[in-house]
Amino acid sequence: MMPPNMNSSLPTVGLIGLGAMGGGMAASLRRAGFTPHVFDVRAEVAQAFAAEGGHACPDLPSLGAACDVVISVVVNADQTQAVLFGPDGQSGCAAHMKPGSVFVMCSTVDPKVSVDFERRLNALGLHYLDAPISGGAAKAAAGQITMMTSGTDAAYAACAGALEAMAAKVYKLGKQAGAGSKVKIINQLLAGVHIAAAAEAMALGLREGVDPHDLYEVITHSAGNSWMFENRMAHVLAGDYTPLSAVDIFVKDLGLVLDTARSSKFPLPLSSTAHQMFMQASTAGFAREDDSAVIKIFPGIELPPASR
């Protein structure tokens, strides 16, 4: 028997993907009084979450059938397609969701793809919310992420407090899918360019013999600072490239940025350069390392060793 929500007035919420972001979001839902149904391809991760409160679903159809709100926190459009429909159209969650329930798509995808997901789900009698996220693992765990959302009034109504349980800011950007994904792509343009620029600045400092800790201290208290410099260059100083967000994430996301601009012949010279830097890092063997590992493409520098 599936456990009821601690507050019976709340909708039953399912969350798919218990990675760095999804795990924190599921914990935030639980803290807010929901009893999340969760699914992850790593069954042991879902079971460990449920041991603290919640329900681990054995597959996507059972999660879809149980929930009024299904939140997907997977990596990309292909994984979202698989979550929704599976290879046969029936082994995902969409074919088993109750009419009037809502699918909340939190991945960074091409806006046109998000529009198509909405069209396909609406044809099944389901609501869809385009809801990419930002903020990182720590904010996800604290219920403090930013959500860039767009969808119908009915889609928002069907979520009934779940978004606010996970996010400090829920931006409502339009009445149909696509607008949220467009804003997220622009955010990723800035994030990727800022990481690439931060790596370039730190690499120049190392090449010129500047103490990297001194450089970090000065920049983080000066006008040249950015959130990405402060956050990602701390990884470099620690010699820790454990992937919180991997190099290949920005190969994908900056690729989406460029694809979006290409369709209207809009020039993005900085995004193009940053994309090439991440591509170079990926092909050099750093694809699954933290995105700060883009600094490893610069020649003739000695990076700080791993902290003990």
The catalytic site residues sit at 184
Do the Cβ atoms of 232 and 136 come closer than 8 Å? no
CB atoms within 10 A of CB 16: 30
Q: Report how far residue 182's alpha carbon sits from residue 109's, in angstroms, rounded to the nearest whole number.
A: 9
> Which residues on adjacent β-strands are paired with residue 70?
14, 103
In which residue are the tokens 């604290």 written?
Answer: 142
Q: Where are the beta strands (DSSP E) in 106-230?
A: 127-130, 133-134, 145-149, 167-172
Distances (CA, A) of 135 to 83, 118, 140, 194, 264: 23, 25, 7, 15, 29
Question: Which of 105, 159, 160, 96 has the alpha carbon at shortest distance from 130?
Answer: 105
Do the Cβ atoms of 72 and 38 come closer than 8 Å? no
First to last CA, the chain: 47
Token code pair at residue 158: 């069907």
Question: Which of 149, 117, 155 has the alpha carbon at shortest distance from 132?
Answer: 149
Q: Report how far residue 176's alpha carbon sits from residue 307's, in angstroms, rounded to the nearest whole number.
A: 47
